[in-house]
Structure 1
């Protein structure tokens, strides 16, 4: 009799879970952005949450949880209930770099998450402040070689795109730049404008608004062709560094074991947002390319990026505690 009751209880729980997945969503969703406000993740996520909420018919709350190379917010989602109500605005740092840079990582980028979709890709844009006199990549290399260790570059933290992108270029150009890590890509922009940081090689959505406003000087863009909105900014290839390749991506992940019905609904509505004319226009203004993928395609992308950046980390010797 006891076994019958246990089986009945298990079936009841299973049926309730299935019904909850079918009714998804029926309450607000929390989208965790594992960086402070103002960085590329945040700039791309804010319009996304509004549009996603409109399509799902519920409020989507943006929750900035920065720190530790994006691992604080990422760990929070990894340990959240797998019901689709706490999801992650994942990135290169959360799934490709930080898990390989840090010795202590409290989540597995593959086992602890369900990939939903790739949302957008972003080239990196190198820029300098308007005080140090550097106006080109060649000028940066010449100045850095003349005064090794004098010039600083800011990053959104160890393992961020802005960290590794600069390290890749340092190795290619054989120059010494002093790394100044912050908690997020938006945190050091004021310091750079004020002249306390010399340069950054950061996600274009973070840098381009400051370039367009004249508060920073663009040096080069890591893209095959120039960006229509920045026609006077040369590419790294045009500047003499065709082998330089760096950039970031942003996607949507949910905790492992989130029901397939929930993943499918999130994927369908998220892709509808990123392929809409409104969001595409916002991405264009930020110097980002819209994507959109199936969960399976995104899973393959995550694995590929993990392997690619693993090679970069090994080659540059970038490591942290």
Structure 2
């Protein structure tokens, strides 16, 4: 005999019908997407590299989408606060994240309490750009080269500090890698984002910083900061005169960051495709390209699938490095 009673059967059929109705309405909703402003969460303070890329790309996307792309800075815990908020948001495309190597490769390895899975809890949209980092010092700091910095630090152990965008971020780990390879001592001063950290370095409150090149570029050009070396394997086109830290004497030194768009898990495919198309289109805009090229950000513009694979590779690569650093986030 059938084990469903009549009320249960009716409830089951009603539920199935409702699910089918919801499923059938998703493509129609996606075709009309968006019908209201989109919130793009930047999980760091305003003024840093991630914020710069978000505002450039977001403004251009808004033109094509016909709706505002509102930037919301939700700083805290090395990007974890804003990332967690997006992971828990409705998967309708109206709340998206400007993710980075911190949010999707480093933080999951050093968080004391893991609040999201970087792979399962997000829908990849597009890898926008790969960004070099740079070691900068205040002009009053008595060194102009990597070797001179190492000598000053060795001669004055514990005297000098370096700023970063937060514990466990690529900028923090850039400093820790420099300390390890150079055999030097520096005090780490974490901030709630690259913007506030950079402001204090420009003001001379902290003498050293490892920063994303896009946010430091204007200060390097104006002479308000002195560039010691870029952190990538090769020199960057916009500052060909700046040597790499590796060629300055620390063989094997390499760090970088990247910016990518993510949404909550289980977003409708049509919405993902629309956001992907508009984000990649924004990267072809002459003004956006020029602004990013000026700071040597390598423009990518990927498929959602390519970004998904990129996150898996980066997590496998940087997770062990992050854990070995001893960094820990609450």
Aligned to 2:240: 231
Shift, 1:2, TM fit: 4.5
Aligned to 1:161: 170
Shift, 1:3, TM fit: 4.1
Offset from partner CA, 1:70-110 (integer Å, 9 cap, x none): 01110110010000000000001110111111111211111
Q: Does 1:317 align with 2:326?
A: yes
Aligned to 1:279: 288
Residues 311 and 24 of structure 1: CA distance in aligned 2, closer, same or farther (over 3 Å) = same
Q: Residues 132 and 195 of structure 1 are in contact (CA less than 8 Å); yes or no, is this contact kept in structure 2?
A: no
Aligned to 1:33: 42
For residues 31 and 316 of structure 1, the distance between their equivalents in structure 2, rounded to whole angstroms, comes to: 31
For residues 9 and 44 of structure 1, the distance between their equivalents in structure 2, rounded to whole angstroms, comes to: 41
For residues 196 and 279 of structure 2, the distance between their equivalents in structure 1, rounded to whole angstroms, comes to: 28
The TM-score, its normalising length taken from structure 1, stands at: 0.95
Q: Residues 237 and 296 of structure 2 are in contact (CA less than 8 Å); yes or no, is this contact kept in structure 1?
A: no
Aligned to 1:179: 188
Aligned to 2:125: 116
Aligned to 2:216: 207
Residues 300 and 2 of structure 1: CA distance in aligned 2, closer, same or farther (over 3 Å) = closer
Offset from partner CA, 1:29-56 (integer Å, 9 cap, x none): 1100001110110111111111011122
Q: Residues 168 and 312 of structure 1 are in contact (CA less than 8 Å); yes or no, is this contact kept in structure 2?
A: no
Aligned to 1:298: 307
Q: Residues 231 and 245 of structure 2 are in contact (CA less than 8 Å); yes or no, is this contact kept in structure 1?
A: yes
Q: Residues 165 and 192 of structure 2 are in contact (CA less than 8 Å); yes or no, is this contact kept in structure 1?
A: yes
**Could you tell me which of 257, 270, 276 is aligned with 1:261?**
270
After TM superposition, which residue ranges in structure 1, 4 or more long, deviate above 4 angstroms?
Answer: none
Q: Residues 233 and 254 of structure 2 are in contact (CA less than 8 Å); yes or no, is this contact kept in structure 1?
A: no
Q: Residues 80 and 86 of structure 1 are in contact (CA less than 8 Å); yes or no, is this contact kept in structure 2?
A: yes
User: Is the deviation greater in 200-209 or in 90-99?
Assistant: 200-209
Q: Residues 171 and 316 of structure 1 are in contact (CA less than 8 Å); yes or no, is this contact kept in structure 2?
A: no
For residues 329 and 157 of structure 2, the distance between their equivalents in structure 1, rounded to whole angstroms, comes to: 23
User: Is the deviation greater in 235-244 or in 251-260?
Assistant: 235-244
Shift, 1:175, TM fit: 0.9
Q: Does 1:251 align with 2:222?
A: no
How many equivalent pairs are there? 321
For residues 93 and 11 of structure 2, the distance between their equivalents in structure 1, rounded to whole angstroms, comes to: 33
Question: What is the alpha-carbon root mean square deviation over aligned residues?
Answer: 1.5
For residues 309 and 202 of structure 1, the distance between their equivalents in structure 2, rounded to whole angstroms, comes to: 18
Aligned to 1:145: 154
Residues 24 and 136 of structure 1: CA distance in aligned 2, closer, same or farther (over 3 Å) = same
For residues 189 and 162 of structure 1, the distance between their equivalents in structure 2, rounded to whole angstroms, comes to: 11
Answer with 1 or 2: which has the greater Rg: 2
Residues 36 and 80 of structure 1: CA distance in aligned 2, closer, same or farther (over 3 Å) = same
For residues 156 and 329 of structure 2, the distance between their equivalents in structure 1, rounded to whole angstroms, comes to: 26
Aligned to 2:5: none
Residues 4 and 308 of structure 1: CA distance in aligned 2, closer, same or farther (over 3 Å) = closer
Q: Residues 111 and 256 of structure 1 are in contact (CA less than 8 Å); yes or no, is this contact kept in structure 2?
A: yes
SS at match of 2:294: helix
Unmatched runs of 5 consecutive residues or more in structure 2: 1-9
The TM-score, its normalising length taken from structure 2, stands at: 0.93
SS at match of 1:88: strand
Shift, 1:298, TM fit: 0.8
Q: Residues 77 and 329 of structure 2 are in contact (CA less than 8 Å); yes or no, is this contact kept in structure 1?
A: no
Q: Residues 166 and 190 of structure 2 are in contact (CA less than 8 Å); yes or no, is this contact kept in structure 1?
A: yes
